[in-house]
Structure 1
Amino acid sequence: MSIPSWHAELWTRLQARRQRDALPHALLLCGPQGLGKRDFLRRFVRGLLCQHPQDGDACGTCRSCLLFDAGTHPDYVALTYGLRKDGVQRQDIVVDQIRELSARLATASQFGGWQVASIDPADAMNSAAANALLKTLEEPASQTMLILAADAPWRMPATIRSRCQRIDFQVPKHEESLAWLQRIGVRDAEAALVAAGGNPGLARIWVEEGSLAQRQEVRKDLAALASGRGDAIAMGKRWLDDAPEQRLWFAAQAVADEMRARATAQSTPLSSSLDGEGLMAWYDAANRTRDALRGPLRGDLLLLELLGRWR
């Protein structure tokens, strides 16, 4: 695994706390998707449980490391989306999962060291689950650590966030991001980085998944709708069937480019008839729709309303 350069300072600070025996009982790893929070979490937990760590990193050969790599370490539990009774994956983390986790953390460590649990995505906890977690955060057992990972920490209650030591992952400078992408062999790194809004992790993912072609497709769709040639219903169905949240990211990005072009009196790429205020309102609506797709509302109707407004 290529460890990103922007992890170095965060890692050093966390390991300094470990050396002082001053690790908190709860960490919150947060920041935009694609910056390696989950890799950082796994690296840290693996090193924390290792019997012979070296500068915070796991040795990879002790019994603890072998169990961790096999997913069977008795002192680590990773909590994520569970299954409903009908076998369908839930879209949130529920209170029963948190209660079970809290009971697990109340037991003694089998290796005589740390007991660690992670919740990912922590911003998917419903209100009952978050309330149940508060007691564990307020009355932590000795030698236990709870690590929360969240792309959107603002969705979590302030009472949860305030009881965790935050580690914020921020988009690095353009030069640093570009150097990392080139070092790991990402093709068209510059164009991918622009498409990802400067986020190098997203740029890498989108190149690997071929998403840059989808970005161009979204722009063509919006231009077609603006000229009266597109079908909003058919377009909405096509977007819903293939990475709708990502398409809405690209759509909002395209509208931002449209606004910048107008501000500098350049040729507008989408040729929208909306005025400046209308473009800003549509940009905000696209981002709200992306969030709403995670909820209970019908995605086809959400997209149809948005695309209808554009047309």
Structure 2
Amino acid sequence: MNGFAPWQQRAYDQTLAALDAGRLGHGMLICGPAGLGKREVAIALATHVLSGGTPAQAERTRQLLAAGTHPDLQLISFIPNKSGDKLRTEIVIEQVREISEKLALTPQYGIAQVVIVDPADAINRSACNALLKTLEEPQPGRYLWLISSDPARLPQTIRSRCQKLEFKLPPAAEALAWLQQQGHSDADAREALDAARGHPGLADQWLREDGLDLRRQVGRDLEQLAVGRSTAVELAQKWCGDEDAALRLRFAADLALAQASSAGLTDPERLNKLAAWFDAANRTRDLLRTTVRGDLAVVELLMAWNKVNERQPRGNR
């Protein structure tokens, strides 16, 4: 009915049962890996909560929700900064105060109020303190749902006051069947699912947006670099020439990890080098979000890749 993936349907059914049995409290933490559809489930649950009354009222509610104009549903996320030229990277105290004010009001449609915060792990410290007060003073028919892919970033005081709805990666067979239902071939689905470490949402995204082809190209690029057919400077310019630099570095780190796994106990020296390069690739990916020149950081990383692949004479070991 909702077009849910199986893992979404399970989460929805579980929460709906608790809701209808009166076992769902004021605060709920919806957590789990990004890309599994947590927000979609939250919206569907809000639709159920707000669609009480007569059939005509329920239909009107669904129309308002679809248009994003229902007065009793509030979605909190990043807002523009003071200059208005980009979005903030945190959810700030003014937004949390707005939540408190909203939940103190009588529902305009007289049924309930729902506030959804996504991503909740972006709430800054002062805003968390304000949010805690709201969680500590629940009112009937008011729901505050926090969506997070990194719940450990939330204070324990907030997590302890929320019921948890946890999304987990589905079994491999279920994820593979779902990917095939999305129109992907068996071979591509298996390769993408393996690359995404069992995450079907990520695998689907990569297959739809040519991410899997990009991963293959990263593998070829590293091979060319290792045998001297390209230079670190040339490759860094290529990798940083579009918006996919961070994804390339993720794939490069994954490929290094795969090589480290195959090295195992047979080549401990190479294993250590690959593990160190894996860490360096992830640090470089983080640097891309700062003011550091990304191409220079990537050049340094790729030069280190050459050292990983240097073969020393046996007598020098």
TM range (shorter): 0.7 to 0.9
Q: Identify the residue that residue 165 of structure 1 maps to in structure 2.
A: 163
Contact 1:27 1:147 in 2 (8 A): yes
SS in 2 for 1:298: coil
Q: How many Å separate the matches in 1 of 2:103 and 2:299?
A: 46
The 5-angstrom pairing of residues 1-311 of structure 1 reads 2-51=3-52, 62-87=59-84, 88-187=86-185, 188-240=188-240, 241-263=242-264, 275-291=270-286, 293-294=288-289, 296-298=290-292, 300=294, 302-311=297-306
Comparing 153-162 with 167-176, which one deviates more in the overlay? 153-162
Comparing 41-50 with 242-251, which one deviates more in the overlay? 242-251
**For the structure 1 residues 189 and 95, does the alpha-carbon distance in structure 2 shift closer, same or farther, using more than 3 Å as the test?**
same
Q: Which has the larger radius of gyration?
A: 2
The one-letter code sitting in structure 2 at the alignment partner of 1:205 is: Q
Contact 1:59 1:65 in 2 (8 A): no
**For the structure 1 residues 238 and 92, does the alpha-carbon distance in structure 2 shift closer, same or farther, using more than 3 Å as the test?**
farther
Q: CA deviation at 1:118?
A: 0.8
Q: CA deviation at 1:163?
A: 1.8
Q: How many Å separate the matches in 1 of 2:293 and 2:174?
A: 37
Report the identity percentage.
41
Contact 2:232 2:302 in 1 (8 A): yes
Q: CA deviation at 1:132?
A: 2.0
SS in 1 for 2:143: strand
The one-letter code sitting in structure 1 at the alignment partner of 2:263 is: R
Q: Identify the residue that residue 269 of structure 1 maps to in structure 2.
A: none
SS in 2 for 1:67: helix
Q: How many Å separate the matches in 2 of 1:60 and 1:287?
A: 51
Contact 1:75 1:110 in 2 (8 A): yes
Contact 2:264 2:271 in 1 (8 A): no
SS in 2 for 1:62: helix
SS in 1 for 2:197: coil
Contact 1:225 1:232 in 2 (8 A): yes
- The TM-score with structure 1 as length reference comes to 0.86
Q: How many Å separate the matches in 1 of 2:33 and 2:302?
A: 26
Q: How many Å separate the matches in 1 of 2:26 and 2:252?
A: 41
The one-letter code sitting in structure 2 at the alignment partner of 1:287 is: N
Deviations along 1:262-292, whole A, 9 cap, x unmatched? 12869xxxxxx97212222222333344455
